[in-house]
Structure 1
């Protein structure tokens, strides 16, 4: 009886290891994340549900829906703006957005969304969405156009953190 139990346990363990290897080999590696120690961690194509969440988040910004933005933010939300701003917490984020919406009337036109995922060195799954946008806003009474790239960390279906990188459009690029 003990031998049968041991053989069954070994068979289950062998099959579970085989399935994990098979699942990893069917994923498409799209690049790698470089850890602080220089280790390269494989990046894989991510779930489209993260893209849908980030797209909904951008739409809520265009619609000035602060309640929807608040609902999509994770409990320990943080954002890093293009000019060195660090926004720590949802309340600070909503306050920042309300002031900025009033002052600059920003509008995003989305160009692309890319989902990726990797497992960090602590065996924690990290899901990111990288997106590109054209943003128009009013600064000192004048409309300006910028290009933005966002990197958003999605955790448990919420926006945990994001970075905004921004560049002014060259005058030859403006319509």
Structure 2
């Protein structure tokens, strides 16, 4: 189980450019990035995944831990690398890219396919849940997937109601932090 401190330590080492940091970040986040890339660029998922981590390493000084998690920031980079790859594929095939990707007036990438955002968000939430300490992760699943109230979770698990509420709140704050970094990446 990974703790909040170890996530912060890895992010700090990454931004500082420590020799082992890229491998540690890759080991932690490659599965989520690869899963996301495979969903949209299946035959080139490994190449795009590699591009994501190289871009993250090259721009690591731009990561701001106060704006969200490293996982969310990396997934934001993945979103743009997938869009770039899809645009390049359309450009090379002489097909109008307007069906999936367009350019905003300021020249930045924007997607008209909500699947890109939805899949990335789902992967980030799943990744955040997988890294939450127990029993918080289980209690969030019981609340939001199974639809149980906090009182029902406390009754079912034998935990104090206050403990259930605070654990769920802390877990949701962690998930929010991951999603903020994803939403803020440009």
Q: Give the TM-score normalised by structure 2.
A: 0.29
Higher relative contact order (CA 8 A, sep 6+): 2
TM-score, normalization: structure 1? 0.31
- Report which of the two has the higher share of strand: 1
User: Which structure has the bigger radius of gyration?
Assistant: 1
Q: Which has the higher helix share?
A: 2
